[in-house]
Chains A and B, each alone.
Chain A
Amino acid sequence: MFKLNLKIALRNLWKNKGYTFINVIGLSIGMASCILIFLFIRYQLSFDESIKNENRIYRFVTEWKYDAFDDYSNAVAIPAVKTAKNEIVGIEKAAAIFRKWHIIRVKDATGKDLVKKDETVYYVEPDFFEIFGMQWLYAKPTTALNEPNTVVLSETAAKHYFGNSQNAIGKNVTMGNKTLLKVSGVFKDIPKNSSFPLNIMVSYQTYPEKDDECWDCVSSGNEFYILLKDGLKAKDIETSLAQFNKKNYADRKVAGNQNNKLEALRDIHFSEHYDNFSNLTISKTQIYGLGIIALFLIITACINFVNLSTAQAINRAKEVGVRKVMGSLRKQLIVQFLTETFLVTLAAMLIACVLAELAIPQMENLFKGTISVGLFQHPIIFVFMLCLVMFVGFLAGFYPAIIMSGFTPVLAIKSKIKLNNGGLSLRRILVVVQFSIAIILIISTIVVMRQMEYLQQKQLGFNANEVMMISLPNDSLNRLKHENFKDRLLKIPGVNKVSYCQDAPLSPNINSSDFTFNGIKNKDFEVRRMKADEDYFSLFDLKLIAGKLFAKNDTANGYVVNETFLKKVHINNPQDAIGKLINSTGQNIPIIGVIKDFNDLSLKDNISGLTISAGKNNYWRAAIKLDTKHLFSADKKIEQLWNSLFPDQIYYSSFVNESINSQYETEKIMGILFKVFAGVIVFISFIGLFGLMAFVATQRTKEMAIRKVLGATTFELVKMLNGSFLLMVFIANLVAWPIAYLIVSEWLKGFAYRMELSVWPFILAMCITMIITLLTVSIRSYKAAVANTIDALKYE
């Protein structure tokens, strides 16, 4: 029986090649997209998986609660590392891991550099390896980093430095200019799906500031992990932690209600407030969002299937009737129809796998290689595919099977079955649902794209065109060369202006602090402290509105503040601010000037209240304004000059505008994803519509012929056939608008600077869908309308 059913199913599918094609194409594209989304989500969920004690590993994080804002950090104050181990009950092991950047060299016997590279280096306490169950190639895990001046390397790093990982043990590398480190271990490379991109780990004992006692200094790279005792959870040590917080922060009167909290290891990758070493967080909302899009895709494709199958059901009515009088049970018919659906679904799945395989490289490209996915990565993927086939098979096949198997034989045999003529048929509702989904996605895509455009065109309040930032070595020795370097830079043709500073005006690297304003402790916010020399303002075209700018000076003797700062300390007239004292460094320094606001953070955030002052010891970058005409030649000469002056260091340069744009990478990727998936859903919806139209046209061939004989023009006939479809799409627009409005306005709330949400994206989406609908259905309805009348009428 099954074999015959299969054979019949194949013949039936072959007979209705057109519909089968539409079904398979729609389903396979939908499924391929679903597979890709699943691969992506699975990859994201796999971060930091299969670490032995993952349920007992927690990260210490720090948070501040000011009256007007909260702040969060993934790091801890340095003294907390030592104190927490002693004061908190229930910790089995604890380890600090601090991230720094150093130049790492490997020298040959003569002292010549064989390798010289700027590297991210982690200072790690030995217990870290046991907490995370590190896999070693060569070393004793317990003793690897017990001694000062020891280092362990990943397999890749070891190969890179010494050509071969076994050779590395016992060799020396130089960190910075003089610190010699002995390689005491080589560990297995950390997989890509990890929040710990560790390559070089130096013993914590080597860390020069390990005995720092500043409780309110939290530097973003200083993470701290603990392993709880067996059977304990975060909440079991809550009281102990609260005591720790009280004793060390509250009792010490640390500003901003500073507090430590615990974050579970597996939450790190999905953390919204806390960054991590890999800089690869993704919020759960984004994952859910993608999941919903996947569901949308599948539903859209299933709706095509259901619509085309029920539309075709009439053609199968006779078969149902005959089979029933031959003694077929309804159950057997349902099984037969489901067999057909599963066959189509299975075929679609095979094509989907091919499509997904083809699309994976593009997807990895889109994420700039930060993800690596594959169809054969994990057995769960096959389980997912199997479930997808089952799910789609039932979703798409069950309703048509129930309908078709339910025909009464008498009516079926006499071809008197009529499927929901007029009224609110399920098929119409499904089309409306399908198009509502498509329209929601079209509107969202338009809004995302417009917002991105808006961000790109928004005036930021400073001019960073042709401004290049280069690294500036700032240790006491190199600092002596700064004067000279600047003078020589300015002599290079094409260099217009040079300024030493910490960073560009817009940058996510914040140095902020609590402060007293005119002797009164401020409890509302932290002031952002920027350091730059006197040329900074003219180079970036920052506009002074009151007072004056500071003159050339090595340290801060006057602050330039922005308008937001004044607003936040409730001063209305900029003139009134001049001469007021700010103390954020232990020193009262007067405000000497006020500049117009500029965006100092990405446009997702509001402008901070900030001070700019001189501070020779904190200039890590040189901003160089170039002449458009000499861009490339100047670039080269600058690098030459730099290398001759700072031979021990590594040159680094970037254009300010490029780094600003890179802050919207996530949004850009999201925009592209939206475009692609909206495109896919629209495509699936319209081929479904085309199929439905083809069917309706065939159904009404006779009616059309009669109308033609009675004198209807082709135009009138096309209009008649198109009418109901246009109406459905129009209703879908009305359904989609409010939902889309809620979604996009919620998304826009994530931006401090957002475009005005007008009615145009909605109108545009309507126009797009209506026009495509008109074109899609007209192709078929025109063909039906001009068909030869006689053929249709003599048929019966």
Chain B
Amino acid sequence: MIELKNIEKYYANKGVKSYILRHVTTSIKQGEFVSIMGPSGAGKSTLLNILGMLEEPTYGEYHFMGEDVTAMKERQRIELYRNHIGFVFQAYHLIDEMTVAENIEAPLLYKKIPGSERKSRIADVLDRFNMVAKKDLFPNQLSGGQQQLVGIARALVAQPSIILADEPTGNLQSTQAEQIMDLFKKLNQEEGITILQVTHSEKNAQYGNRILTIEDGVIKEDISVEKQM
């Protein structure tokens, strides 16, 4: 599903190149649950941003579902956002002025899904996440864990093939974090959604089936997680 070949990213500052990523080559298959780990400043988030096409690599090739991303036009990229990629953020990033239901509805609007189907999908997702009662609340009326659930619901409602999550539990207490990670795992196993998360926590990484460790912009380790849980 994802092919990275020799991805490099650096910033040139006064003639000095400061590398963020070097020679990153890897591939991620459909249905994998990959955790990207590493110390602060190693380049995890940059890698995720590149995968999410929010940043462009300085060099290298990136194929998403067989298509060359670097050659894509803005419109094609937006089409990918609409149909294949869902984002989950550490700080949830719900739109404050929208209610829970409206936040979930937003991506469907961009996908131009007809009203009746939108309603049924939203109802479906709310139901699944046990949030029917909260659908008319605004984000600031929810706890962090609940907000992140809405964030995930919003990513899911458009039925993406991959979810990119940047420290999804970074702002949450451990019980809430566990709940979120369980959800990810369930989505991965039951619905076959590819999940890519950046995390600091060993424990969270164990939920997935593969761990990429990055240090100083280079992939240090690429291991499979034993299914011991």
Q: Residues of A with Cβ closer than 8 Å to B?
A: 1, 4, 7-8, 11-12, 15, 318-319, 321-330, 332, 408-410, 413
B82's contact among A11, A12, A319, A327, by CB below 8 Å, is which? A327
- Complex contact B106–A413 (CB within 8 A): no
Residue of A nearest to B103 (CB): A322
Q: How many B residues are at the interface, by size bracket?
A: 20 to 34
B93's contact among A4, A322, A327, A329, by CB below 8 Å, is which? A322
14 intermolecular pairs with C-beta atoms under 8 Å apart: A4-B109, A11-B98, A15-B96, A15-B97, A318-B93, A322-B94, A323-B95, A325-B52, A326-B110, A326-B158, A327-B81, A329-B75, A329-B78, A410-B55
- Complex contact B82–A4 (CB within 8 A): no
Question: Once the chains are docked, how many angstroms separate the CA of A11 from the CA of B95?
Answer: 11
- Complex contact A332–B52 (CB within 8 A): no
- Complex contact A1–B109 (CB within 8 A): yes
Nearest CB in chain A: distance from B65 CB, A: 16
- Complex contact A327–B97 (CB within 8 A): no
Question: Once the chains are docked, how many angstroms separate the CA of A326 from the CA of B52?
Answer: 11
Question: Once the chains are docked, how many angstroms separate the CA of A277 from the CA of B55?
Answer: 75
Complex contacts, B96 vs chain A, CB 8 Å: 15, 319
- Complex contact B97–A323 (CB within 8 A): no
Question: Once the chains are docked, how many angstroms separate the CA of A12 from the CA of B95?
Answer: 11
Nearest CB in chain A: distance from B69 CB, A: 15
Cβ contacts B62-95/A at 8 Å (1 or 0 each): 0000000000001100110110010101000111
Nearest CB in chain B: distance from A451 CB, A: 54
Complex contacts, B75 vs chain A, CB 8 Å: 329
Question: Once the chains are docked, how many angstroms separate the CA of A326 from the CA of B93?
Answer: 12
B106's contact among A11, A323, A329, A330, by CB below 8 Å, is which? A323
- Cβ of B142 under 8 Å from chain A: no
- Cβ of B111 under 8 Å from chain A: yes
Residue of A nearest to B78 (CB): A327
B87's contact among A1, A15, A319, A325, by CB below 8 Å, is which? A325
Complex contacts, B109 vs chain A, CB 8 Å: 1, 4
- Complex contact B95–A322 (CB within 8 A): yes
- Complex contact B106–A326 (CB within 8 A): yes
- Cβ of B217 under 8 Å from chain A: no
Complex contacts, A326 vs chain B, CB 8 Å: 81-82, 87, 106-107, 110, 154, 158
B89's contact among A1, A328, A413, by CB below 8 Å, is which? A413
- Complex contact A409–B97 (CB within 8 A): no
Complex contacts, B79 vs chain A, CB 8 Å: 327
Output the residue of A4, A325, A326, A413 with the most chain B CB within 10 A.
A326
Complex contacts, B97 vs chain A, CB 8 Å: 8, 11-12, 15, 319
- Cβ of B215 under 8 Å from chain A: no
- Complex contact A325–B81 (CB within 8 A): yes
- Cβ of B178 under 8 Å from chain A: no
Nearest CB in chain B: distance from A599 CB, A: 68
Q: Which 9 A-B pairs have the closest CB atoms?
A: A327-B82, A327-B81, A327-B110, A11-B97, A326-B107, A410-B54, A325-B87, A322-B93, A1-B109
Supplied contacts A1-B109, A4-B105, 13 more A-B pairs, CB within 8 Å: A4-B109, A15-B97, A319-B95, A322-B93, A323-B110, A324-B81, A325-B54, A326-B81, A326-B110, A326-B154, A326-B158, A328-B110, A329-B78
Chain B residues 145-181 with CB under 8 Å of chain A are: 154, 158
A409's contact among B54, B82, B105, B110, by CB below 8 Å, is which? B54
Nearest CB in chain B: distance from A343 CB, A: 14
Output the residue of A12, A318, A325, A413 with the most chain B CB within 10 A.
A325
Question: Once the chains are docked, how many angstroms separate the CA of A322 from the CA of B107?
Answer: 10
Complex contacts, A327 vs chain B, CB 8 Å: 78-79, 81-82, 107, 110-111, 158
Residue of A nearest to B98 (CB): A8
Question: Once the chains are docked, how many angstroms separate the CA of A321 from the CA of B93?
Answer: 9
Nearest CB in chain B: distance from A337 CB, A: 13
- Cβ of B216 under 8 Å from chain A: no
Question: Once the chains are docked, how many angstroms separate the CA of A497 from the CA of B95?
Answer: 87
- Complex contact A410–B49 (CB within 8 A): yes
- Cβ of B102 under 8 Å from chain A: yes
- Complex contact B93–A332 (CB within 8 A): no
Nearest CB in chain B: distance from A538 CB, A: 83
Chain B residues 169-222 with CB under 8 Å of chain A are: none
Complex contacts, B110 vs chain A, CB 8 Å: 323, 326-328, 332
